[in-house]
Structure 1
Amino acid sequence: MAHPRLSIVIPAFNESARIEDALERVMSCVAERGWDAEVVVVDDGSKDDTAAIVHRWMEHHPRLHLVQNPGNKGKGYSVRNGLLQAAGDIVMFTDADLSAPMEEAERLIAAIEDGADVAIGSRWMDRTRQTIHQPLYRQFFGRCFNWITRTVMGLPFKDTQCGFKAFKRSAAQVIFRLQTIERWGFDPEILFIARKLKHVIREVPVTWGHDERSRMSYLKDGMKMLEDMARIRANSLAGRYDEAIAAMKDTSTMVTPQVAKVGANVAQVAKMGAEVRQ
């Protein structure tokens, strides 16, 4: 099978109600635009028919693949698992609700082709592109969280949490092997790591519509994400990311025994890398 130019990763947990619609929209977009693309659905230990539905679609779509996590591990784990196994020159992930229409991937691809290593979709750069707005309380908590993220982690982006991001494959292979946060708080970490690696990051306004079926709780998950940010900051102050990056640069392989020695969190990354290569 030919090497794909684009890989589209969709993390999915108990998505039987909307995965079929997502696949229909994604596959139609790929066909209409003639993209040289593969689609990778990462099933995060679903208890419903998500995997069975994807298997059924795979019978008619040879460039659709299913990756299954060993149980429910979280969105961050799922995105990492999918992107590290993706074969495209450009790799991206999108949420199963397709709040950002698949057609908007053209904007991310254009940013990568224009020299960016990482392109991130933004709901807030151009608010006129929002087709269905979030409830006011979600907007309030989302903006507060983004302000805290910008302040604590020094990330100069208007929207760190939009689940619509693309990477050069070479950049993703390093960034996601250094990732340690495996649930909702992974987005700021991968951007933090990308900046540490001096990657060019481009924020791109995208069309976006809120899905009322969103499972994220701004109170419960928001508190956990604040804990994750504190953990990222602690890892950085302890030099764990720098040590892991140095270990990578000192060897010819991406994940090495040295990486496993820089702390419990980064040791998990090395283990993950070994699982992906099997």
Structure 2
Amino acid sequence: MTTDSSLRSGPGTTGRRSSSRDGAAGRDHGRLPGRDHLPARQPVATASAAPVLDVVVPVYNEEKDLHPCVVRLHGHLARTFPYPFRITVADNASTDATPAVAAALAAELPGVRYVRLAEKGRGRALRTVWSASDAPVLAYMDVDLSTDLNALLPLVAPLISGHSDLAIGSRLARSSRVVRGTKREFISRAYNLILRSSLAAGFSDAQCGFKAIRREVAERLLPMVEDSGWFFDTELLVLAERAGLRIHEVPVDWIDDPDSTVHIVRTATEDLKGVWRVGRALAVGALPLDRLARPFGDDPRDRALTGVERGLARQLIGFCAVGVLSTLFYLVLYSLFRLGVGPQVANGGALLVSAVANTAANRRLTFGVRGRSGAVRHQAQGLVVFAIGLALTSGSLAALGAASGSPSHSTELAVLITANLAATVLRFLLLRAWVFPARACPEPEDLR
């Protein structure tokens, strides 16, 4: 992947000329308010000409649409956007007259620049430009301008204020106004349904070509995104959401471009491959999302509050859900083992297998521990907790046998359920205080 190192630009880097009434406020246009506490990156004060927003328009063989698109976008930003801006045309190895058109636009309009890439790929273009940009807020939109530009300021405003980390336009929001064919509507909704069911995605529209991100967030997320094509922004959103970052959604008005050159079948196939790859990585804990967990703002959950046990209610709910499933799993195993061995052996085998599964489930779902680090130690400690449960249930079975001689299978199950309930409280306390103790909240410098 290569890029034009000169980053050819027009005669200026801002689309808005500062007037005298701007005064000292103009000198702070490069500083974003509301995030001075950021542990990862501090906003840098820049000259008044430094852009606050860098809008990337990725193109491939768009000689016809490029000029009207950029002229319209530039005019809209000059009229409505209150900060300096930049428009970057990212050419994905076009073979038509697109490079000449882009170069002419860079020479004609202030705040427009042109970047040439030797390889195709929308994700590759965004990664290249965003990684090199000095603007605090980075955005992109499709060259056809299917999205109404009036949504651009609402898209980036939460990022400028520091409220959100990423922002996306949504064509599937209830208040969106969308005009497009039945086939594209079906494909879009089916794809987002797949994301929700397979990757537990909470955002509504992954494919809308209208997104923005804060630069310091991009600096940490981009190295983790593998795709360089159409799945790029979906992968970016999934990782951001799993890391606990805040994604702002803006309902948009959108009109389908009937001349779109996107190959729907090929794009859908690549997207499904991406869903499988990311889903597998998340399932095995291969992504270091803990490095991204809430480093970009003041999260009230990170504050040490006297008398408030952090996460107790959520942990109790998770522990109870895992406990119910583990108990059912244990009872099924016990009944199967009891067909061939005595009650004590069946109980020990069922408890051992279910204990390993219970520790793994509680590790991930109840206490939010991801990745493989410490997994062996956690299982070893879980086995100690299992030994305590074994002692309680085995003792209960021994007492039942001594009292009844030959109890029925239903009586054995009733005694085991009672013993397991008695051991549950102790198991939760040991898991919470010993196996998965709450980690101290890191200081800001630890997150750099």
TM-score by length of 2: 0.52
Q: Alpha-carbon deviations, 1:76-132, whole Å to 9, x = none?
A: 1112112212221111111111111333211112232260111110001035522xx
The answer as to 2:56 corresponding to 1:9 is yes
| Alignment match, 2:199 | 153
What is the letter of the counterpart of residue 54 of structure 1? Answer: A
Gaps of 5+ in 2: 1-12, 14-48, 296-448
Q: Alpha-carbon deviations, 1:212-257, whole Å to 9, x = none?
A: 12222332221221011111122333433218948xx9xxxxxxxx
- Distance, in Å, in 1 between the alignment partners of 2:192 and 2:289 is 28
The answer as to 2:253 corresponding to 1:207 is yes
Gaps of 5+ in 1: 250-278
Greater fraction of residues in strand? 1
- Distance, in Å, in 2 between the alignment partners of 1:75 and 1:164 is 13
- Distance, in Å, in 2 between the alignment partners of 1:192 and 1:157 is 9
| Alignment match, 1:36 | 84
- Distance, in Å, in 1 between the alignment partners of 2:126 and 2:79 is 26
- 8 A Cα contact 2:239 2:289, kept in partner: no
After TM superposition, give the deviation of residue 54 of structure 1 in Å: 1.0
The answer as to 2:210 corresponding to 1:195 is no
The answer as to 2:271 corresponding to 1:225 is yes
What is the letter of the counterpart of residue 239 of structure 2? Answer: I
| Alignment match, 2:190 | 144
3-state SS of paired residue (1:240):
coil
CA RMSD of aligned residues (A): 2.0
Alignment of 1:45-60 (within 5 A): 45-60=93-108
| Alignment match, 2:413 | none
The answer as to 2:287 corresponding to 1:241 is yes
Q: Across the two proteins, how many residue pairs are aligned to each other?
A: 244
Q: Name segments (4+ residues, structure 1) moved above 4 Å.
A: 243-246
- CA distance 1:32–1:245, shift in 2 (3 Å): same
- Distance, in Å, in 2 between the alignment partners of 1:127 and 1:99 is 17
- 8 A Cα contact 1:9 1:41, kept in partner: yes
- 8 A Cα contact 2:51 2:86, kept in partner: yes
Aligned pair partner of 1:23 in 70, 74, 77: 70
- 8 A Cα contact 1:236 1:242, kept in partner: no
- Distance, in Å, in 1 between the alignment partners of 2:114 and 2:290 is 30
Greater fraction of residues in helix? 2
- 8 A Cα contact 2:151 2:250, kept in partner: no
- CA distance 1:241–1:128, shift in 2 (3 Å): closer
After TM superposition, give the deviation of residue 188 of structure 1 in Å: 1.7
- 8 A Cα contact 1:41 1:82, kept in partner: no
